[in-house]
Every structure is written in C-alpha cells, then in structure tokens.
Amino acid sequence: MQVSRLNDLHAFTSSLPPLTASPPPLPPTPAATLETLKNFHNSSSSLSLKIASTAEKLQLLSSVVKKNSIFMDDSKKVNGMVDEIKRDLESIHQTMSSLDSTLSSARTSIPSSTRDHSIAILSTLKTTVTTTATEFKQVLLTRSSSLKTSSDRKKKFGRTGGLAERGKLQSLKTINLTQSTVSPSKLGVTHRGVGRVGEDGLVRPGIKSTKSIGGADEVVSVQYYNQTEGGGESGGHIMTPLEMQVMEEGEEQTQLLIPSGGEYLEQRAEAVSQIESSITELGGVFQKLAVMIGEHKELVERVEDNVEQAHGNVEGGMGQLMQTLEGLRSGRMLGIKITAVMVLFIIFFITFLA
Amino acid sequence: MSTSSLKSLQTSTLTTLLSTPTQPWKILIYDPHCRSIVSPLLTVSGLRSRGVTLHLALDSNRTGVPGVEVVYFVEANEENVKRIIQDIERNLYTADIHIFFPSKLPRPLLETLGRGLHSLNAVNRVKTLQDVYCDFRCQLDLFDLMVPESFNKSIGGTELEMEQFCSVVSSKLLSLLSVLQIIPIIRTPPNSCSSLIASQTSKLLKDHPITGPRVPLIICDRDLYPDGLWWHESCYLPLLYDVLSGSGEKVGGVDIGSGEFLREYGYKSFPDVVEGNSTVLKGIEASEARLRNAGEVSDLQSAVDDLPKLMDKKKEVESHTGLLQAAMEKIGERQIPMLVDLESRLSSCSDKVAKEVTDVLKSEEISLEDKLRLASIAGLHGFESSVVSSWFSLLPPSPCLDFVMQRRSLKMNVKPSPPTSSHGGDLLAAAGSVLGGVGAELVREAGRKVERLKGKGSMRDLTRAVSAVLEGGKEDHEWEYWDVKLKEPRVNDVRDRPGRSTKGGKVVVLMVGGGGFGEYGNLREGLGREWEVIYGGTEIKTAKKFLNDVTG
C-alpha cells in the first residue's frame, strides 16, 4: 500500500502566505564539477546505447550460429558479424578506459560523492559489458565446436575412399542390398542422393551412412545397413520406404547447401582459424576486463552497518584510551601535589623544629 | 516457502519505490532504521541492478551530486525531516527529489516539511512524497516489527505508555498486513495487551482498507507464554542462533541470508542436517567431477553453464559445514542434547524427571543461563509446588524465578493440560554412524554428542493454543475474536462467529514482546503441513536476551 501525500503537502503549502523575502540563494554547484559530470553522463549514456546495440547484434549472431551449427553456408556473413561485434567490444573497451582515466584525472576537482556515483555507473556498465563479452565468447565457442565436429566427421567419413576400399564398399553394398527388400526403383531413388554428406542430423541409430569422396567426380557409395547392436530392432530390420524417403530428402537438402568438397573444406579451415584467432584476441580484452571487475568485489555484500560499527568501536576505544590517559594524568598530578605537600612539611619541620 | 513469499513481497515493494525516478541512475539515502529494512532484501549488487549508484546514510557527512535524482527512504520523525530540508538548503542534489516513509507521516511533520520547503521555494522540487507502509524487516523467514524493549513495554508502564506502545505496534502490523495483502480475522487471548492492539489495528484497517483474502491473525503475549523462547532446541536454525552469536542474516559471522540448503534443512533436527550436509556435498562433488571430466562437446557446453552455479551451491553448503562444526563444539560444551532430552520429558511430571532436573541444577558443568532456562520451563509444568521451590532454592535468587513463580500461580489455576506427545529420543542412534560422511574427525566426535538431539519436540503451550484456536479447541471459545469487516469488529458471542470453512491455509502469528526461531520451528512442526505459518514478533530475540528482559 503506497499512499501519496504530495497533494496534502501542496494543499498545505498553498495555504501558507506567499514568501515576503526571496529565499536565500542556493549555493551554486562548481561549474567544473557540473561540466565533468555532464561529459561523463553523456559518454556513459552513449556507451550504454552502444552496449545495447552490441547485445542486439550478438543475439542475432547467436541465432544464426545456432541455426547453422552444422551447415556453415553463410560463414561469410557470420564472420562479418563476428568482426563487427569484436570491433564494437574493442571500441566499448576503449571508451571505458578513457572514461576511467577521465575519472581518475578529475579525482581532485570533483567532490567525493559525485566521483563515487560516476564510478558506480561505470562499474555497472563494466559488468554489463563483461556479460555481453561472455555471451560472445560462448557463441564463438559454440561455433568453433560445431565446426570441429563437422570437420571431425569429415575426416572420419570423407577421405576413406581409396579405390580398393571402394570395391569393398561396393561389395558390402550389394550384400546389404540383397538383404533389403526395397524395390529396385526405390533403390534408384536412393542412389540419387549418393555422394553427399550424410551428416544431416537425420542419421539415426541403426543406420550408418558411409561415404567417400574419391576424386573429382565424387563417386561415392552409401550403404544402409542395420547395426546388430542397435537395440530391439536389430538384426533383420528392414528400412521402410518412408525412412528411405526421409533420408533422401535430407540428403537433397544437403546437396543444396554444400558447395563442392575442396572449396568447402578450405572455407571451413579458414573459419576455424579465424575463430581461434578472435578467441585469442578476446582473451586479451577479457584480461583487461577482469582487472577492472576485480576492483569491484564488494558487489555481493549486504548493505550492512559493519563499517559504521567498526567506526563506532574505534571511537569507543579512543574514548576509553583518552579516559585512561586522563586518569593517569590526574593520578600523576595527585602524586606531584602530595609530594609537594610532603616536601613543604619536611622543609617546615627542618627549618622550624630542628 | 511461506515467508520467502513475504520476503519477495517486501522486496517488490522496495523495487517499486526505487523505480519511481525517471533517470536510470539514482542515489538512495536512508537512516539506520530503513537500512535494516533494506539490508536483508537487497545486496549492493541488487541495488546496483536497480540503478542505485550510491546508498548513503542520512546522518553521514555527504557531499552533493548535482543533476542526479535522489530517493530518501527514512523513518518519519522530526530529525529526519529537518535533515532533508537541510539537504535542500545546501543544494546537495539539484535534480528531482523523492521522499518515502515506511510508515505514516504524521500531520505535524508534514507541516514542518511543507513550511521548510515553502521557505526555500522548493515545494515543486519534491516529485514524490509517499507513505509506503512497509515498516518491518524480514529476518530470514520471520518478520520483525522492530520495537525495541517490547517485552517490558507490553507488561508494564502507565496507561498512556501502554496506549503508545499499542499504537506503534498496530501501525507496524498494518504495514505487515498491507505487504502481505490479507484481511485478518484477529484472535487474541482475552483482556491482554494483544487485545488492545487488536482493537487499534481494527480501527486502522477501517481507515486504510486492504483488499485480499481473509486470514487468521493470532496476536499473543509473550508473558502468557514465557517458556517459548527458553526451550533448548534440536532444530538446526534455532540451535545456530542459540549457540553461535548471530543477528539478522549473519550467524557466527557467516551470511546465511538465502540459499536452498537453509530452506530445506533450516528446521530439521541437527543430526539430519549433518547427514544432509554430507550427502548434498557429495552429490555436488560428484556432479562437479562429472562436469570437469566431460569430453563431449555438448557436455562441455553444459559444463560452462552449470559449473558456476554448482560452485556457488558448493560454497553455500561448505559454509554450512563450517557452521555445523562450530555449533557442534558449543553444543557438546553446553550439553544441549541432554537438556533437550530432559525438557522434552518434563510434560510427564514424574518423580524421576524431577530428580533429574535437581541433578542438573546441582551440576557444576551447566552454565547458570542454561540452568535458569531449564528451571523456568520446568517451573511452568505441573510439578508439585514444593518440588519447584526446592529447584529454585538451588539457584541464586533472580527476578526471573519470581516472574516464573507468579506465572505459575496464574497458570495452575487453570487445569494443566495432559501431556500431548512424547519424544522419540532413541530414533537417532543411527544418525551418528552417518555423520562420518562430512569427513572431519571433529564432526564425527561431536556428532556422537548430539546423537540424542534427534528427539522430536512435543507441542509447546503456544503451539497447542494456536492449534486449538485454529481447529476449534478450548481456546477457540475463550479467545477474543475481531472481524474488521463487521461494523462492530469485536465479536463477543461465540455463536455469532462464522464457522470455519477450511482447515489449513495461511495463518499469521505475532508475538507481542518478542519471538524467536525455536518457537517458529515448534509452530511449524506442531501445526503440520496444511498450515502455512507466517510468524514474527515485535522483535526477534534469543533466550539470553529474553532472560535479561525478565531480569530487568
């Protein structure tokens, strides 16, 4: 329940007589402070805008990367985006360090609260940047890992197509074909898809596609066979026409997406090396950021009165010490007085009674 | 859990307050009172994420920040109002000013503020002036109305002082109800300080209507149930507060403010917690090892996501391991398991138990504080008066014992209730063997000492009374009934009270004179799962503090 009392206040103040004397002028704020603060606010707000736009770009990139985690058909586009974001992050970082240095150079000229306020803003921005950068790194990692997987697969299935082996595969295929009851016409359909990458995500357990790209004409054999260890449906499982069709469709998609083998591989290698280099570069940025963030460890703390308690304790201790000192002093004074009186008495005795 | 929702409701109140300014960045200025409201709910980073760059104490020596909006969150008193006017006079903050009070700003203070602003021609600088009605703080699961010395205020003083005390408590109670968004059906013991509070609260609720479901609110007096804070506890959290010095969210210097472990194990018996701690820790370590050894790419991805969370959790559980170890040492030292066991058998009132109490009171090893607690609780049970006097003569004379004697004579006029349930002390022979899991020899050693802690506490007087009120027992007929929806809120005739429609639901319990974690634990356990208990007091205190209060 929040009850506004502003109307009560206004009703009351309007009932007051108008001011006879103009109120004392408010103490002006030093112009230098205002100027510094204004600059700071301007650049920090532009910075936060920049961070927001970078985050947006990053989101786009991450969606693109996720969509194409296996078929890097628009790797050029992705690379462009990565570059852009990297540049953005770098420029954000630069702006921030310049803001940092402005703040530290203006240390003496602006009051402490203002400085603390600005530092707080900056550190919040830094945290945001760090999260953004972390996300960026994540995206890059995802991309590189997906690239790696596909290149691994490539190695596994890609270069096995020696002539001798091809013969072996052919024979295997025939064996398998004799096992299957698929009609020849269906088989023909299947063979249209031959020679393409089988790694389309439609490769299901129990079906293994083997492919070899052997030379320019890409003569490849794909064979479907049932793994005996493939669980309940093992052994005499026969592929249904539907399954075949699905597979074939998948392969046709692949066909559309992938350029011819050599070029594709080169592109991929390039992309991988690019990503690796950008990760290394990012590493540097991160280190700098880590240093910045390290200065703001207090973020998890509670708003507690520990500091003030400690302060109070110290003050109390001081008071005690002062009291003790006072006591000592008065004790000493007393001692001196008593001694003086004694001395006087002795002198008195000596001079008058002796 | 129930009161985590209390916490989240209070947090969202504070968040709306902080999101009033139009600029993204603002400065929060509070006084010690309001800081204690904010501090359990928001950490520094929490404030940051809500755009608060600086949080400053009103009475500190502040320098200005031009051009930044400022949020004042201070108690409504004259000094604070004057401070705010001073700030405006010094022109510390040149942008808009937002002022929030946790309770109602009295008219004279509003006028002081108005005059001050008017003379500076700054009335229009104040963009917000609000009574927020959130004048209580959350202490873990409990609410704390922050009325210092409430016990002595609730039992003594002149009529005027009593009136004042009750109006303070009822205005804070209004805050609690408005944050919880419930309309209470108030039940209080007859002719007590609580019933005064109930009548004032009903009046306040007429002026400040709240919308929401109807929930029973039980207001009860500490001096009617003084034993509640003195029992030795076997549950984890109450035990922690008893043996380690703790206040607010910190126990033994460790911040236990939030976390799943506490939520799950806070009110379980100590050996269970030790066991739970080790299994949770093992589980975490296992999944950590699995993540670290992850070879697959997909696993790697999840490892990157999960590992930090896991590490946080591990850190939390490990901090509890530390607390457990520290607590066990003290528990062994003070022989708390023996005391818990003995106290749980008091309700039988047998000669054997009386003899054991005598032995403990004679023993050199038990501290005077623990002896006083035991003697006081035992004195309130149905033992023969001669036995009780012989116990009390074993202890040095204390106003506390006189107080207990007085309470006893009042209570014994009423027929003592039959013992409700006994404990299951030997349930836990097995617990000791499990303790080894934590690994530390120390823990195992002390674990043997706390084996007996597993005894299931019996229903104490307050819990029994509350459950009787809720479920139509003896107290239901005797206690006063206040329904704020009626024209005449106090319902005298039992027949005019509407019948209970449901068993279970929410129930709010307020202890006038101070509440404690142990009492909450017993209420939770005693009322069972169907009741969601929201418990608190005019202050939250330990047994020791309450002994001091009674001793005067």
Q: Round the average pLDDT of chain A to a whole number and report it.
A: 67
Sign of the torsion angle spanned by Cα atoms A33, A39, A45, A48: negative
Give the A:B interface size as CB pairs under 8 Å. 153
Q: Which 8-state DSSP code applies to residue B216?
A: E
Question: Residue B75 pLDDT more than 90?
Answer: yes
Q: Per-residue pLDDT averaged across B313-337, rounded?
A: 87
The tokens 């009822």 sit on which residue? B170
Considering only CB atoms, B128 lies closest to which of A6, A114, A138, namely A6
pTM above 0.80, yes or no: no
Spatial CA neighbour of B423 closest among B454, B455, B461:
B455
Q: Per-residue pLDDT averaged across B72-96, rounded?
A: 91
Spatial CA neighbour of B42 closest among B131, B134, B127:
B134
Contacts of A306 in chain B (CB under 8 A): none
Q: Per-residue pLDDT averaged across B72-80, rounded?
A: 94
CB of B134 closer than 8 Å to CB of B41 = no
Q: Per-residue pLDDT averaged across A41-49, rounded?
A: 83
| Beta strands B26-30; B52-57: pairing state | parallel
Helix (H) or strand (E) holding B201: helix B193-207
Angstroms from B306 CA to nearest CA on chain A: 13
- Label residue A345 by pLDDT band (50, 70, 90): very high
A17-26, B86-95, B206-215: which range is least confident on average?
A: A17-26
First to last CA, chain B: 37
pLDDT digits (tens, 9 = 90+) for A1-35: 788 899 999 999 888 888 776 666 666 666 667 77
d(CA A228, CA A236): 9
Considering only CB atoms, B123 lies closest to which of A10, A116, A298, namely A10
In total, chain B counts a number of residues equal to: 552
Torsion angle, CA of B315/B320/B326/B328, rounded to 10 degrees? -150
Q: What are phi and psi of B190, to 5 degrees?
A: -65, 145
pLDDT digits (tens, 9 = 90+) for B258-274: 677 888 888 888 888 88
Q: What are phi and psi of B337, to 5 degrees?
A: -55, -40
Cross-chain Cβ contact A138/B111 below 8 Å: no
Question: Residue B388 pLDDT more than 80?
Answer: yes
At A209, list the tokens: 């596609």
Number of H helices, E strands in chain A: 9, 1
Question: Residue B136 pLDDT more than 80?
Answer: yes
Interface test with A, best of B34, B36, B53 (most A CBs within 10 A): B53
Give rounded-to-5 percent helix, strand, coil for chain B: 55, 15, 30
Q: Please give the pLDDT value at position B28.
A: 93
Question: Between A75-105 and A112-158, two packed helices, what is the crossing angle to 10 degrees?
Answer: 160
d(CA B349, CA B354): 7
Considering only CB atoms, A9 lies closest to which of B104, B113, B249, namely B113
Closest-CA residue in chain B for A117? B53
Considering only CB atoms, A13 lies closest to which of B64, B117, B300, namely B117
User: In the sheet that B97-101 helps form, which strands lie side by side, from edge to edge?
Assistant: A3-4, B126-131, B97-101, B69-73, B26-30, B52-57
Cross-chain Cβ contact A34/B132 below 8 Å: no
Sequence-distant (≥ 6) Cβ neighbours of residue A330 within 8 angstroms = none
Angstroms from A136 CA to nearest CA on chain B: 13
Angstroms from A180 CA to nearest CA on chain B: 34
Question: Residue A163 pLDDT more than 70?
Answer: no
Cross-chain Cβ contact A34/B67 below 8 Å: yes
Considering only CB atoms, B300 lies closest to which of A127, A145, A298, namely A145
Q: Please give the pLDDT value at position B469.
A: 87
Angstroms from B66 CA to nearest CA on chain A: 7
Closest-CA residue in chain A for B297? A145
Q: Please give the pLDDT value at position A175.
A: 42
Q: What are phi and psi of B400, to 5 degrees?
A: -60, -45
Q: Please give the pLDDT value at position B441.
A: 47
d(CA B238, CA B520): 9
pLDDT digits (tens, 9 = 90+) for B396-452: 888 888 888 888 888 776 544 444 333 333 333 333 334 434 444 445 555 555 554
pLDDT digits (tens, 9 = 90+) for B170-210: 999 999 999 999 999 999 998 889 999 999 999 999 888 88
Cross-chain Cβ contact A3/B16 below 8 Å: no
Burial class (CB in 10 A: 0-12, 13-18, 19+), A344: exposed
Contacts of A142 in chain B (CB under 8 A): 301
Closest-CA residue in chain A for B106? A5
HSE of B497, CA atoms in CB hemisphere, 13 A: 22
At B247, list the tokens: 């206040």
A219-233, A316-330, B339-353: which range is least confident on average?
A: A219-233
